Structure 1
Amino acid sequence: WTGTEGMTREQLETSDKIGIKDPTGLYGFGGYFAHKIVPWPEDNEKGWYGFKNLTIFRYAEVLLMYAEACAMTGDNDGLQYLNAIQNRAGSAHVSSTLTLDEVKNEKAFEMWIEGVRFPDMVRWGDTDGIVNNGKNIPSTYDAFFTKKEPKHRIYVEYSNPNKGQTGFVKGKHEYFPYPKVTISRNPNLQQNPSGL
């Protein structure tokens, strides 16, 4: 955004200094962008964003895991921690009962795009909805550059670059495969089904 300081919204809408300039678009982006992972200015180290403040594990996830364990065992103690996260986030919905569905919904909101959803879905047995993942991959484009429109407009097109079977396969993808070097060093180790 260098050179856009002080520009009005109307000026930005027609400026060639912003937007998705790559004619191939942004592969894998479905028309929305994860502002929660955009680096803050203080993350800029020596002129580049090194993500020195990259979060590996958040306390909110610890509370949600505890709430999940309580929901699974019928212990209502986890409700206070689920509510604490909902109240901190300013949620319009604050759970009145502790159920696994309440925890699942809150975890989807709280941990969005933080790389924990897939292991959660496998643990919960909720993988039926991802059996076709990878069939249609979105790419996001800017019509200002690709269609020569007078103002920036984001649009999405889908492609199917993956041939054959894609998505989750029960009985195969629950575990990651062991690396080949690990298998070769330990002949007693059986490869996980995902590596076969």
Structure 2
Amino acid sequence: MRGLKYLPDYQNIDTPENDYALIRYAEVLLTKAEALFRLGQEGEALQIINDIRTSRGASTLSALTEDDIIDERGRELWWEGHRRTDLIRFGKFLDSWNEKSASEPFRVLFPIPERTVANNPNLTQNPGY
């Protein structure tokens, strides 16, 4: 199945009349919950996560872990382009999952395009590339 979260406006392909959400309120709430959790305010973070889960018809959690937060971000922000950054921030990007084997640590950074490095003597390529 191909993921399609925001439907294209096929009737007006050159000047679409529909909007694309760059940031949603749920993302703001999840970011706040993560920050509170990392500050040791787990009760407030849990309440925010449970409010989101309740509004989506999911069962509430009785406790909150770092894995619960990244899992919730994965479900709520599916197909919105946040997963790689989230996995890096949570220290899980280099792990193996599904059909992806474990990655080498240098993969956290992207390579700088060769043309950019060649045109700027102040730049050096990121390690590993």
Normalised TM-score (structure 2) = 0.76
More strand by share: 1
Q: Deviations over 1:141-180 (max 9, x none)?
A: xxxxxxxxxxxxxxxxxxxxxxxxxx55222210112223
The alpha-carbon deviation at position 45 of structure 1 amounts to 4.5
Pair 1:81-2:51 in alignment = no
Higher-Rg member (1/2): 1
Give the one of 24, 34, 37 matched to 2:3. 34
Identical aligned residues as a percent: 34
Question: Can you give the 5+ residue segments of structure 2 that lack an aligned partner in the other structure?
Answer: none
* Conservation of the 8 A alpha-carbon contact between 1:68 and 1:103: yes
Structure 1 or 2: more helix by fraction: 2
Q: Match for 2:57: what amino acid?
A: G
Shift of 1:33: 3.5
2:126 counterpart of 1:183: no
Matching residue's letter, 2:122: N
AA matched with 2:20: L
User: CA RMSD for the aligned pairs?
Assistant: 2.7
- Assess, with a 3 A threshold, how the Cα gap between structure 1 residues 47 and 80 changes in structure 2: closer, same or farther: same
> CA 1:191–1:97 in 2, change beyond 3 Å: closer, same or farther?
same
Q: Is 1:69–2:38 an aligned residue pair?
A: no
Higher relative contact order (CA 8 A, sep 6+): 1
String of CA shifts for 1:85-130, please: whole Å, max 9, x gaps. Answer: 1122111x21232321221221121112222112211221213124
Shift of 1:190: 2.2
Where has structure 1 moved over 6 Å in runs of 4 or more? none
Match of 2:72 in 1: 106
How many residues matched? 127
